Amino acid sequence: MSKSFATRMAEAVQKTKSVTCVGLDPRKAQLPAPIRDNVAADAPPDAWAAAYTQFCCEIVDVVRDLVPCVKPQAAFFEQLGPAGTVALGEVIRYASDAGLIVITDGKRNDIGSTATAYADAYLGTASPWGSDSLTVSPYLGEDSLEPFVEVCDQRDAGIFVLVKTSNPGGGLLQNRETDGQTVYARVAELVQHFNATRLDSFGYGPVGAVVGATYPEQLAEMRAAMPGSWILVPGFGAQGGGAADVMAGFDAKGLGAIVNNSRHIIFAHSRPEFADRLGDARWQDAVRAATVEMNEQLAVVKD
Amino acid sequence: MSKSFATRMAEAVQKTKSVTCVGLDPRKAQLPAPIRDNVAADAPPDAWAAAYTQFCCEIVDVVRDLVPCVKPQAAFFEQLGPAGTVALGEVIRYASDAGLIVITDGKRNDIGSTATAYADAYLGTASPWGSDSLTVSPYLGEDSLEPFVEVCDQRDAGIFVLVKTSNPGGGLLQNRETDGQTVYARVAELVQHFNATRLDSFGYGPVGAVVGATYPEQLAEMRAAMPGSWILVPGFGAQGGGAADVMAGFDAKGLGAIVNNSRHIIFAHSRPEFADRLGDARWQDAVRAATVEMNEQLAVVKD
């Protein structure tokens, strides 16, 4: 790949006219019946892993022309043990081959050569896992992020650093102020520092940020603090954030943010508005309808 | 298992009279020649994964009677892609079956049901990965740690929360003070809160803490702030920490802390003091000699 991660993201958003990121969070109990019923409850992990792969790859088939990116959640694959991570690898490859940008949500973090190992593992379509991007935690400080940024440079890949998360308890550490600056604002300052010398023609760099939809005021604050950063916004849909809550994340062209939705899209067959009309039997149609609905709610991309 | 994680750790330390944790950090270039030479540089990931499994399992054979625990570093296994995580699973099982306590170093973190998925994946010898314990990052706050603590309760497992890390940049966020309290001290307060109602007969609970050997003063401060917490001390050996730097981590009986050493033990065949005498051909003897040496440097356990 010759274009930077940020540029590919901007072009994918413009092409699809969508800022929706579909979160791939497979869970045994919530799989649609046509897939779940093929696996015995006490089946070995590789049977469930195959079900996860089928489920996620079918979602990719449904949404590939509708959205710029997908975000597989590593935790749910790892929950199946090693067989689950094999499925994660298959899903990443399938989505990437389908032309989607893949953000592996692993919230990894470590120091020095160990951080480099994670970066080498996940960043770039030619890497062992083959994803375009990885979510990363900042608790270990600047020298834990630098190895990731270096690999981003080498491979035209991206990362998303946890800045202000969507959960109620996120503020315990993130909101603490020192000399008037919160911890999350300090992380944002670091993110902007990394991007400042790496901006593309759209004005963005490889170091994205995670800022939850559940705190709209902080999203506006963070948009201003990190003008060079793609913001990954979780918390939309099932976690309670709505369209009005995420508008502050976008720039004037409707770029600069992608909004993740996992459960309300991938398990749309269980939502009241789709359950009767489509239900488990037509779960793929429910996924498509929910994705189109979200795209319409967030029609911010300008020509 | 009926004994708590903390109790099993205390008994393992007393039985081996060792506070050494052997870090299993396999890296292609540093493997001893008898293992490395069997794999072509361009061999596929599963060939390297088999080499990692062989290397780590041989280390387990060498140290199983000398130390209480081992700590596989997930990053180096994940660096090989899915095949590497299969090897990680094999190494965890092998070490656990050998009677060692296994701490998977994954520095995982997420919120709500996603955190529960990680906990379910790694915690307890009956879990999909089968480790006794997992390292966890606190950036997401209290509600990101609670699911891990709940699973610890259900399975007599443990976690180690990152508190004060050993890297130079760790202070960027961790040392920030609010009303006289640093971020790391706030995390320590939370750790102690979790343990307070869960103490065993040795005085320890399931929620351990990571505090680096490179900051001896903070180690003493953290020992006092978390009297109920096993402390995992990285940074000894290759990162520069010495025996005097870690003494503040132990209680009067020599319990309450385990000191990790990865490179200086597992790649001891490359250290000047062992290279000529033992070298690659007798790398297992170098591992054993380095482990015995570290046990002698840290002979703190009282009868």
Rg (CA), chain B: 18
Structure tokens at B69: 């625990």
Phi, psi of A73 (to 5 degrees): -90, 110
Whether the CB-CB separation of B226 and B188 falls below 8 Å is answered with yes
pLDDT exceeds cutoff 90 at B235: no
Closest residue, chain B, to A91 (C-alpha): B82
- Summarised one tens digit per residue, pLDDT across range B188-219 is 999 999 999 999 999 999 999 999 988 889 99
> What angle do helix axes B45-63 and B82-97 make, rounded to 10 degrees?
20
Residues of A in contact with B166 (CB under 8 A): 111
How many residues are listed for chain A in this entry? 303
Structure tokens at A275: 């359950």
Q: Which of A110, A112, A141 sits opposite B107 (nearest CB)?
A: A110
Q: Which of B129, B137, B141 sits opposite A171 (nearest CB)?
A: B141
Q: Do the chains contact at B111 and A165, CB–CB below 8 Å?
A: yes
- Summarised one tens digit per residue, pLDDT across range B269-301 is 999 999 999 999 999 999 999 999 999 999 999
Residues of A assigned a catalytic role:
107
- Closest residue by Cα to residue A68 from A5, A152, A148: A5
User: Per-residue b/e over A7-19, b at no fewer than 16 CB within 10 Å?
Assistant: bbbbebbbebebb
Superfamily of the domain at B5-297: Aldolase class I (3.20.20.70)
Which of B24, B28, B161, B172 to substitute to test the interface with A, most A CBs within 10 Å? Answer: B172
CA B195 and chain centroid, separation: 19
Q: Report the percent of chain B where pLDDT is more than 70.
A: 100
Map residue A114 onto helix, strand or coil.
helix
Closest residue, chain A, to B109 (C-alpha): A107
C-alpha–C-alpha distance, residues B88 and A222, integer Å: 38
What ipTM, to 2 d.p.?
0.97
Residues of A in contact with B144 (CB under 8 A): 167, 169-170
Residues of A in contact with B193 (CB under 8 A): none
Predicted local distance difference test score (pLDDT) of residue B1: 53
Q: Do the chains contact at B75 and A177, CB–CB below 8 Å?
A: no
Predicted local distance difference test score (pLDDT) of residue B196: 98
Which of B52, B79, B116, B191 to substitute to test the interface with A, most A CBs within 10 Å? Answer: B79
Predicted local distance difference test score (pLDDT) of residue B128: 97
Residues of B assigned a catalytic role:
107
- A–B: how many Cβ contacts below 8 A? 189
Q: Which of B111, B121, B171 sits opposite A167 (nearest CB)?
A: B111
Predicted local distance difference test score (pLDDT) of residue A241: 81
Rg (CA), chain A: 18
Average confidence (pLDDT) over B235-240:
80
Closest residue, chain A, to B184 (C-alpha): A173
Which band of pLDDT confidence, cut at 50, 70 and 90, is reported for residue B264? very high
Predicted local distance difference test score (pLDDT) of residue A1: 54
- Summarised one tens digit per residue, pLDDT across range A247-301 is 999 999 999 999 999 999 999 999 999 999 999 999 999 999 999 999 999 999 9
Residues of A in contact with B186 (CB under 8 A): 172-173, 176
CA B74 and chain centroid, separation: 11
Determine the residue type at A1: M
Q: How many angstroms separate the CA of residue B144 from the nearest CA in chain A? A: 8
C-alpha–C-alpha distance, residues B247 and B225, integer Å: 16
Q: Which of B128, B169, B178 sits opposite A81 (nearest CB)?
A: B128
Q: Which of B113, B137, B186 sits opposite A139 (nearest CB)?
A: B137
Residue with tokens 């209480």: B68
> Which stretches in chain A have pLDDT values below 50?
none
Three-class SS of B146-213: HHHHHHHHHHCCEEEEEEECCCHHHHHHHCCEECCEEHHHHHHHHHHHHHHCCCCCCCCCCEEEEECC
Q: Do the chains contact at A128 and B84, CB–CB below 8 Å?
A: yes
Residues of B in contact with A80 (CB under 8 A): 121, 128
- Closest residue by Cα to residue A101 from A53, A54, A160: A160
Closest residue, chain A, to B114 (C-alpha): A75
Q: Do the chains contact at A79 and B143, CB–CB below 8 Å?
A: no
C-alpha distances (whole Å) from B84 to each of A15, B88, B108 are: 36, 6, 18
Which band of pLDDT confidence, cut at 50, 70 and 90, is reported for residue B239? confident
Which of B111, B131, B145, B160 to substitute to test the interface with A, most A CBs within 10 Å? Answer: B111
* Average confidence score pLDDT of chain B: 96
Residue A303 CB contacts under 8 Å (≥ 6 apart), including other chains: none
- Closest residue by Cα to residue B220 from B188, B179, B193: B188
Rounded to 5°, the CA angle A118-B30-B22 comes to: 75
Average confidence (pLDDT) over B139-149:
97
Which of B107, B131, B148 to substitute to test the interface with A, most A CBs within 10 Å? Answer: B107
Q: How many angstroms separate the CA of residue B73 from the nearest CA in chain A? A: 8
Phi, psi of B181 (to 5 degrees): -115, 125
Provide the 10 A C-beta neighbour count for residue A263.
18
